[in-house]
């Protein structure tokens, strides 16, 4: 193990170095912010030769170092781990939009599923780990971004670490592979590799394709007279929605434990899309029934009807609690989009929002 990696566990937290894949996404920016505040040196793995999302990241988080790499390319991941010599690797990179995973099922399997294996292999190879050479105390710690979408068609609610998986999309299937391969590397090689099974978490930085941001942007457009209607799919689906900043704290806590274990992270509260819409419109003094149109283009080939976390283990073992309520989250997002669209009717960094099933 390199001298840099051997620093894990020393008293001075300033010496820790993190490598984050998916740093240009919503969670990457909150995690980078959190780790920098903890005194970490933060590196982001970024794909492409001129990734436009880096500029958006820099608006939120300044002091991140960038290295290039792609979850589709094993050699690039090995080079990144060799270059950065991280103490912690957070694998957040993925095709994360569920409808896209039906349109590009094979690519989703490669990035969201096989990408996890490639990242684990990069750590294993660079650290010289094999069945006969297990990692020492200074090993690289690995976090995998698992998802409540693995529960899919649930037969019991709320869902905890022991609830069986029944994924309902190519995305959910790919995440389930990533989850099990992480567990497998922990059990086969003794690696400090954990998965956080995170329920939906949102923020003003959420991509415009996801329902919460689509709604907050829609409300803001209608309030400012830029649109009249908002077209949505299934209003009856229920989700456990929390604030992304709270969930970034949980990721770091999971890698700071003495033993590697998986944790469910969520609020324990569930709301329907209809409730979300009703509350978001009310926040802006509007009646959703005057503006929302249901459109079959936005319903999915298979739906996950109900998700609700049982975060008891995280509360008891990590001391983790969400700080932002559902109402505070929706209000924060609507107010942020009202400000954003007041400044510019079409903000330059507004993400492309594709049509889908």
Inter-axis angle of helices 273-283 and 211-223, nearest 10: 30
Residue 16 tokens read as 């820790």
Q: Pick the piece of the chain touching ligand GDR (CB under 6 A) from 29-37, 252-260, 297-305, 318-326.
A: 297-305
Question: Counting contacts by CB under 6 A, is residue 173 touching ligand NDP?
Answer: no
Residue among 102, 180, 279, 298 that touches ligand GDR (CB under 6 A):
298
Bridge partner list, 118: none
Residue 189 tokens read as 């090689």
Candidates 24, 176, 267, 270; catalytic one: 176
Positions 197 through 256 that interact with ligand NDP (CB under 6 A): 198, 200-201, 207
Question: Counting contacts by CB under 6 A, is residue 239 touching ligand GDR?
Answer: yes
Q: How far is CA 240 from CA 158, 199, 248, 268, in A?
A: 10, 6, 16, 7
Question: Counting contacts by CB under 6 A, is residue 177 touching ligand GDR?
Answer: no
Cβ closer to ligand GDR: 189 or 320?
Answer: 320
**Cis bond upstream, residue 158 (ω within 30):** yes
Question: Counting contacts by CB under 6 A, is residue 176 touching ligand NDP?
Answer: no
Cβ closer to ligand GDR: 64 or 230?
Answer: 230
- Does the annotation mark 134 as catalytic? no
Question: Counting contacts by CB under 6 A, is residue 233 touching ligand GDR?
Answer: yes
Collapse the DSSP code of 314 into the 3-class scheme (helix H, G, I; strand E, B; otherwise coil) and give the result: helix
The Cα diameter of the chain in Å comes to 66
Question: Counting contacts by CB under 6 A, is residue 45 touching ligand GDR?
Answer: no
Surface-to-core class of residue 261, CB atoms within 10 Å of its CB (0-12 exposed, 13-18 middle, 19+ buried): middle
Integer-rounded Cα Rg, in Å, for the chain is: 20
Q: Quick one: which of 83, 68, 87 has its CA closest to 12?
A: 87
Site string for ligand GDR, 83-102 (x = CB under 6 A): -------------x-x----
Question: Counting contacts by CB under 6 A, is residue 314 touching ligand NDP?
Answer: no
Residue 284 tokens read as 């802006």
Residue among 16, 19, 27, 116 that touches ligand NDP (CB under 6 A):
27
Residue among 25, 86, 113, 233 that touches ligand NDP (CB under 6 A):
25
Positions 92 through 131 that interact with ligand NDP (CB under 6 A): 92-96, 111
Cβ closer to ligand GDR: 2 or 272?
Answer: 272
Q: Quick one: which of 182, 173, 110 has its CA closest to 145?
A: 182
Q: Which helix (H) or strand (E) holds 46?
A: strand 41-46
- The site partner of 21 among ligand GDR, ligand NDP, none (C-beta below 5 to 8 Å per kind) is ligand NDP
Sheet order of strands, 65-68 included = 65-68, 41-46, 17-21, 88-91, 141-147, 193-198, 263-265
Residues annotated catalytic, as ranges: 176
Task: Catalog residues that contact ligand NDP under the rule CB under 6 A.
Answer: 21-22, 24-28, 47-48, 51, 53, 70-72, 92-96, 111, 145, 147, 198, 200-201, 207
Residues lying near ligand GDR in the complex (CB under 6 A): 96, 98, 147-149, 199-200, 209-211, 214, 232-234, 237, 239, 273, 298, 300, 303
């Amino acid at each position: 193990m390199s001298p840099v990696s051997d620093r894990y566990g020393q008293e001075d937290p300033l010496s820790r170095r993190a490598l984050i894949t998916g740093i240009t996404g919503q969670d990457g920016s909150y995690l980078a912010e959190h780790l920098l505040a903890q005194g970490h040196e933060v590196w982001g793995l970024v794909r492409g030769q001129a990734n436009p999302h880096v500029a958006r990241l820099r608006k939120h988080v300044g002091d991140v170092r960038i290295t290039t790499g792609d979850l589709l390319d094993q050699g690039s991941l090995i080079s990144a781990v060799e270059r950065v010599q991280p103490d912690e690797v957070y694998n957040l990179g993925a095709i994360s939009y569920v409808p896209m995973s039906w349109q590009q099922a094979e690519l989703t399997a490669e990035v969201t599923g096989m990408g996890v294996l490639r990242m684990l292999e990069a750590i294993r190879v660079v650290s010289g780990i094999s069945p006969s050479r297990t990692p020492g105390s200074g090993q690289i710690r690995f976090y995998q971004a698992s998802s409540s979408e693995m529960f899919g068609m649930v037969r019991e609610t709320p869902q905890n670490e022991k609830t069986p998986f029944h994924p309902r999309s190519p995305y959910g299937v790919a995440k389930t592979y990533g989850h099990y391969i992480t567990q497998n590397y922990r059990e086969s090689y003794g690696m400090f590799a954990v998965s956080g099974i995170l329920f939906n978490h949102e923020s003003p930085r959420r991509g415009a394709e996801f329902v919460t941001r689509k709604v907050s942007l829609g409300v803001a457009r209608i309030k400012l007279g830029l649109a009249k209607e908002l077209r949505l799919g299934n209003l009856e689906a229920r989700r456990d929605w929390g604030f992304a900043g709270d969930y970034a704290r949980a990721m770091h806590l999971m890698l700071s434990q003495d033993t590697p274990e998986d944790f469910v992270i969520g609020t324990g509260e569930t709301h329907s899309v209809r409730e979300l819409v009703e509350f978001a419109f009310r926040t802006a003094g509007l009646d959703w029934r005057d503006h929302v149109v249901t459109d079959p283009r936005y319903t999915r080939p298979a739906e996950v009807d109900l998700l609700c976390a049982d975060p008891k283990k995280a509360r008891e073992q990590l001391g983790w609690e969400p700080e932002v309520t559902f109402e505070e989250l929706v209000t924060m997002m609507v107010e942020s989009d009202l400000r954003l669209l007041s400044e510019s009717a079409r903000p330059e960094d507004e993400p492309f929002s594709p049509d889908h099933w």
